[in-house]
Amino acid sequence: MKEELDWANLAFGYIPTDYNVRCVYKDGRWGEIEVSSSETINLHIAASSLHYGQEIFEGLKAFRGADGKIRVFRLEENAARIQESARGILMEPIPTGLFAEMVRKVVKLNERFIPPYGSGASLYIRPLEIGISPRIGVKPASEYLFIVMVTPVGPYFKEGFKPTNICIMREYDRVAPRGTGRWKVGGNYAASLTAGEHAHELGYSAVLYLDPKEKKYLDECGPANFIAIKDGKYITPASDSILPSITNKSLQQLALDMGIEVEARHITVEELADIDEAAAVGTAAVASPVAEIHDLDNGNRYIIAKDGQPGPVVTALYHKLRGIQMGEEADVHGWNTIIE
Give the pLDDT means over successive 10-residue stretches in the chain (340 positions). 77 95 98 98 98 98 96 98 98 98 98 95 97 97 98 79 95 92 96 96 97 95 95 96 96 98 97 97 92 97 94 97 96 97
- For the segment 84-115, what is each residue's pLDDT rounded down to a tens digit? 999 999 999 999 999 999 999 999 999 999 99
In the chain, the amino acid numbered 217 is Y
Contact yes or no for 281/244 (Cβ under 8 A)? no
Which pLDDT does position 114 carry in this prediction?
A: 97
Which pLDDT does position 3 carry in this prediction?
A: 56
Contact yes or no for 55/185 (Cβ under 8 A)? yes
For residue 150, what are the CA distances in angstroms to 97, 104, 307? 19, 11, 38
Sort strands 60-64 and 70-73 into parallel, antiparallel or unpaired: antiparallel
For residue 76, what are the CA distances in angstroms to 28, 32, 127, 181? 24, 21, 13, 21
Which pLDDT does position 133 carry in this prediction?
A: 98
Which pLDDT does position 284 carry in this prediction?
A: 87
332 class by beta-carbon count within 10 Å (0-12 exposed, 13-18 middle, 19+ buried): exposed
Backbone angles phi, psi at 109, to 5 degrees: -65, -30
Which pLDDT does position 13 carry in this prediction?
A: 92
